Homo-oligomer: A and B are copies of this chain.
């Protein structure tokens, strides 16, 4: 995976793996040690640690400072940024347009059909 130049790209890249999304889902219920996180996965501890490092670099997971037990915690801030990024696309599925949506109207315009009433 190439180093992502911007944080949104790093977030999306980190989320593009089902194991990493499953780890986040686990951490959404509570913080957990690497061993606890690894338990439900048919995967070695080093493999899980590698996924955790990707999530940490993307700012989606942080480690506790306790030297004995460094729990992993979800950091939701990058997900909030994804939520904000989605904002301009929500109109496409939230019924603010008719079924054909913006494209229907766009095609109508190009085809010289009258604009639909709102």
Contact = CB atoms under 8 A, between A and B. Distances in A.
A71 to B, nearest CB: 9
Interface in A1-46: 4-6, 8-10, 12-13, 15-18, 21, 24-25, 28-31
- A contact residues, range: 35 or more
Contact of A13 (B16, B29, B80, B101): B16
This protein's copies in its complex: 2
A88 interface: yes
Contact of A30 (B29, B74, B80, B106): B106
A16 B16 contact: yes
A25 to B, nearest CB: 7
Contact of A102 (B30, B83, B88): B30
